[in-house]
């Protein structure tokens, strides 16, 4: 799928049979628009799929948008994630898998604080211009 920032076809659904590559356009389309239920009743769609080289996710427009209730599949590649975190275009929110890593060198709270600081700095600079 194409990255919303750089427009390159980088993030892709993982396919363990083919060394992480989707084998056909049809297979990728099936994954992107799939919306089914598992045997236990839980939903299965692209949000539950392992993605290589970035994020592919279904986002929903809330009340107040001209797209109220619409859902969109968007993608962003790992390179653009890093670039947009640096200038606070993308904000770090948390990590649902880990709270700390590398013997405490990295933590969710540290990353959130760095993101907040960059956001405040950018917002304040925008106010000066």
Domain boundaries, the chain: 1-86, 88-129
Work out the pLDDT band at 58, boundaries 50, 70, 90: very high
For residues 31 and 29, give the distance between their C-alpha atoms in angstroms, rounded to a whole number: 5
- Chain-centroid distance, C-alpha 124: 26
pLDDT score at 122? 94
Which DSSP string do the residues of 54-65 spell out, in sequence order?
EEEEEEE--TTS
Angle at 48 between CA 43 and CA 2, to 5 degrees: 125
Average pLDDT over residues 37-42: 87
Helix axes 78-86, 108-128, angle to 10 degrees: 60
Average pLDDT over residues 86-105: 87
Cα torsion for 10, 15, 21, 27, to the nearest 10°? -90
Residue 102: pLDDT above 60? Answer: yes
């Amino acid at each position: 799928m194409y990255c919303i920032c750089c427009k390159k076809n980088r993030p892709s659904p993982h396919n363990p049979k083919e060394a992480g590559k989707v084998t056909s356009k049809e297979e990728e389309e099936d994954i992107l628009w799939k919306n089914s239920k598992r045997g236990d009743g839980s939903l299965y769609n692209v949000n539950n799929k392992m993605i290589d080289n970035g994020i592919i996710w279904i986002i929903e427009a809330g009340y107040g948008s001209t797209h109220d209730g619409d859902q969109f599949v968007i993608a962003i590649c790992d390179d653009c994630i890093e670039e947009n975190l640096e200038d606070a275009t993308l904000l770090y929110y948390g990590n649902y898998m880990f709270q700390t890593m590398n013997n405490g060198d990295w933590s969710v709270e540290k990353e959130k604080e760095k993101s907040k600081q960059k956001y405040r700095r950018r917002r304040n600079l925008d106010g000066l211009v």
